[in-house]
Amino acid sequence: MPRILLGLGGNLGDRASTMRAAIAGLTRFLNVSAVSPVYETAPMYLKDQPAFLNLALTAETDMAPASLLAAVKYLEQRLGRVPGVRYGPRPIDIDILLFGLTIETADDLTIPHPRMAERGFVLVPAADVAGDWVHPVLGRTIGDMLASLASTADVVPYRDQALAMAATG
């Protein structure tokens, strides 16, 4: 079964509860192997919105990438996600960052995630659970990509350690 890396984030509603529900929902169709600590992060592209909670998780699946995307999008909808402004506020966003060594470009799915190498809010939690995983296009580990970022000062451990412990346990 391919090993996958997902990034989760959200900044609307009860962020902690939504993250817990997202992790629980993902365990229904993935063999989750590790969940990172939770981080609070500043918005990156559209600045005038609430701070995000972000985490990463690794899992194994026998699903094809398109089937995984459909399952993830359905879970997002169940958790209150509705179409909105790109990079805008949302209760939950679940991104497929890596799917084994798969390289795929389709209208609705690009693997590896095309912007993961520029995002501290993705790389900091991803390095916690998959720091030695190699990006199949860039040929660099997640840890190396993280080390090359100018700053991750806006990615801070989330103050609610109960959520962080629930996420990592």
Has 95 been annotated as catalytic? yes
**Dist. CA 72–CA 59, nearest whole Å:** 13
**Dist. CA 32–CA 94, nearest whole Å:** 14
Which residue in the list 3, 93, 144, 154 is annotated as catalytic?
93
Which residue in the list 3, 15, 48, 81 is annotated as catalytic?
81
Which residue in the list 20, 95, 154, 160 is annotated as catalytic?
95
Has 90 been annotated as catalytic? yes
Q: What is the DSSP letter of 146?
A: H
Q: What is the DSSP letter of 118?
A: G
**Dist. CA 26–CA 61, nearest whole Å:** 11
E strands within the chain?
A: 3-10, 31-35, 39-41, 52-60, 93-99, 104-105, 110-111, 155-157
DSSP letter string, 156-169: EE-S-HHHHHHHH-
Which residue in the list 3, 14, 78, 90 is annotated as catalytic?
90
Assigned token pair, 11 = 């900044």
Task: State which amino acid sits at residue 105.
Answer: T
The residues that are catalytic are 81, 90, 93, 95
